[in-house]
Chain A
């Protein structure tokens, strides 16, 4: 069975995922599930960087947040249809990723992380000042509109199927990227960069393209999220959001296929159910972060895969 390059175990896991997507809105809030899927998409992009080419970006919030702003602005003020809005969000993420990636790939390791963080901070300041983002208030009351100008998305379940479609497409795309010849080179660069260079691969172009892809994933995720909630705010573009997505990847399992989804599910569920405890959510997140680094570096899916001796 080589559907999309899935292994047997991955095909089963993918089947379970599809069943869960269909069944879970019957028992859980669609809004919550949509949030999980948006963040999964965000984390899948981040995992391309962290897991497969070995670059830690601490600035992913910039692409997520700006994607959200552009989608919200385009749908609300320019009156475009939601699918165009989301595409614009993704293009925004990709465009920002193109420029910032071009700068950031000049350094590696911690410098790369600090550069991405600093560039994202610049985007944050821009979002605070720029008139179209609405500053502290953000862009509120964004209409979901009609898909292709035909299907109203105001009903949560209509929106749910759209988000699910985007999520599955994104998931399969991420998986396809990794299991393409391009993806093999990307992993080679992660494992041994000097050797990949000596084999004639232009490592910087691979890093750059992965960075742009991660930005595009973040942009689509941010744009979709802004339509789900009808709001785009500074929270999505601020640095803790960059940390959150890294936490999702770390918790789910760096460099695993299904890890980012599980990580997003856990983090978002925690935020929703602990929301009444206020800043304790941050404390718990920080503690989980530390625990993952110290004793649980494989993450949930990584650990399960390790036990089952299967790549998930």
Chain B
């Protein structure tokens, strides 16, 4: 058998693929967290729960309304984003003037509430969701077999990350967002409706979590805990990357997914904690994170 570094090539590539998939989710979620943090100055602890809601909405759209995967790919992020808009208008906007830790506590409560509600209705084992037929099956890449759906997830997440990056770094809307991050009062004095911008940014960031939830639905079991398991790792990713830049969040997300996958090949017991070990190393050498500005 073809070997690389003393490991069978299919194993290596298989884990690399899984690593990139995990990395796509880290990237999409930490991207949403970074966008929200930039403008609202809060860390959205409910991000993982909203990711979970996205997956359940995908399932619900098919089960109750007969809307298939492709429809869900559009509808679910909008629904989750709309829900986020509601949360921002009803709850979050009241705490902008407080110590930023209250934002974390408020969204922590939201996460618990959402997770509890879904556990009540669906039980902790959750439901299953199948990818559309066209995305089933595998392709032979020559050096390995790749399930089509996994390739699709990677492509979709790379595209969405690219679009968000472009929106924020290269468009007028993005320039407004960045300006409002730097100095909201000044931007408001130019006639920009900053509170609306903030609300829409939250909705957008949360919609991104919803989109990630749609992608995750056929891949993992759709259950109430799926978000909280992921979000703790994503927080470590955010600490490693620092929340200074959009590009940094994307690169760190994919990079850590790959590192995790490789650890699974070379030292399996370490794979669950490798992200945290990297976090410790980064904290010791670059406390502001790889892409962060010194606070």
Contact = CB atoms under 8 A, between A and B. Distances in A.
Contacts of A297: 98, 102
Interface in A105-136: 106-111, 113-115, 117-119, 121-122, 125-126, 128-129
A278 B109 contact: no
A286 B102 contact: no
Contact of A122 (B37, B94, B104, B273): B273
Nearest to B95: A293
A286 B43 contact: no
A231 interface: no
Contacts of A250: 105
Interface stretch (A3-11, A73-81, A160-168, A239-247): A239-247
B112 A240 contact: yes
Interface in B123-154: none
Given A118-B239, A122-B276, A282-B112, A107 B120 contact: no
B101 A290 contact: no
B280 interface: yes
27 contacts: A107-B239, A107-B295, A109-B100, A109-B101, A110-B42, A110-B101, A113-B101, A114-B235, A114-B239, A115-B279, A118-B235, A119-B280, A121-B236, A122-B276, A129-B269, A246-B105, A284-B116, A286-B109, A286-B111, A286-B115, A289-B112, A289-B113, A292-B105, A293-B102, A293-B105, A294-B91, A297-B98
Given A111-B239, A289-B108, A118 B115 contact: no
Contacts of B115: 282, 286
Contacts of B273: 122, 125-126
B27 to A, nearest CB: 17
Contacts of A293: 95, 102, 105-106, 109
Nearest to A240: B112
Contacts of A282: 112-113, 115-116, 119
A234 to B, nearest CB: 13
B238 interface: yes
Given A117-B235, A122-B273, A294-B95, 9 more contacts: A58-B108, A109-B101, A110-B42, A110-B100, A115-B283, A121-B233, A125-B272, A278-B119, A286-B113
Interface of B: 37, 42-43, 91, 94-95, 98, 100-102, 104-106, 108-117, 119-120, 228, 232-233, 235-236, 238-239, 269, 272-273, 275-277, 279-280, 283-284, 287, 295
A262 B273 CA distance: 36
Size category of the binding interface on chain A: 35 or more
A290 B106 contact: yes
A288 B112 CA distance: 10
Contacts of A125: 272-273
Interface of A: 56, 58, 103, 106-111, 113-115, 117-119, 121-122, 125-126, 128-129, 239-240, 243, 246, 250, 278-290, 292-294, 297
Given A114-B43, A280-B116, A297-B102, A103 B235 contact: no
Contacts of A294: 91, 94-95, 106
A290 B120 CA distance: 19
B287 A279 contact: no
B116 A279 contact: yes
A245 to B, nearest CB: 12
Max chain B Cβ within 10 angstroms of own Cβ: one of A281, A287, A288, A293: A293
A103 B119 CA distance: 35
